[in-house]
Structure 1
């Protein structure tokens, strides 16, 4: 299996349980790695892989339209999108809120799932 990665994708998202988090979108950082079929590279054919531009666009649109209380729920949502819609066989995501607490650079989650 080959892998595509997207690093330090900054997205405005409605995520959080505290009043200050619910008042306005906040910037989150996503790192995403997902498996793609080996034949994409062998055949040099974009139709046999997952187009990262499509993934980025879809994530941005979905996070703009939804509110998530927990980063864990947001992560599971993106993973389900990758597994079900984009048909990735394996996905790993880390999501971080940036500068949400004094003296803490990032707070986040990391999730890994594979299609069964």
Structure 2
């Protein structure tokens, strides 16, 4: 089974629990992995036989820029459902969202949330 991966998409968002996060915003990054039967479906070098990466990015961009959540877990769950609805021919989508400016003590790179799901019709 083939995998299509879009790695490290970056967004400036206004998600977070604290008022400063929602007012000033912060950078989020995401990886979208799509399980899709490339070997069987892509036979004619035609973009219509596969998942269009630009369309996936556009759906993610529209969603992230028009929704705000206190929790990135909520962002991840709702974006996953939006992607599954927009691309019903996929087998599975794995979504990772990283938040870099997390207001907690300690030295770390980021906090990452990972969700995964398949379309209901499968």
TM-score normalized by the length of structure 2: 0.84
- Output aligned runs, 1:1-116, within 5 Å: 1-38=1-38, 39-87=40-88, 88-101=90-103, 103-116=107-120
Q: How many residues align?
A: 116
SS in 1 for 2:98: strand
Query: 4+ residue runs of structure 1 moved beyond 4 angstroms?
Result: none
Give the deviation of 1:58 after TM superposition.
Answer: 1.8
Gaps of 5+ in 2: none
CA RMSD of aligned residues (A): 1.6
Conservation of the 8 A alpha-carbon contact between 1:29 and 1:97: yes
Where 2:43 maps in the other structure, the secondary structure is helix
> Could you tell me how far 1:42 is from its partner in structure 2?
2.4
The Cα of 1:76 is off from its aligned counterpart by: 1.1
CA–CA distance in structure 2, aligned partners of residues 99 and 21 of structure 1: 9
Asked if structure 1 preserves the Cα contact closer than 8 Å seen for 2:60 and 2:83, the reply is no
Q: Shift in Å at residue 70 of structure 1?
A: 1.0
Larger relative strand fraction: 1
How far, CA to CA, are the matches of 2:49 and 2:69 in structure 1? 32
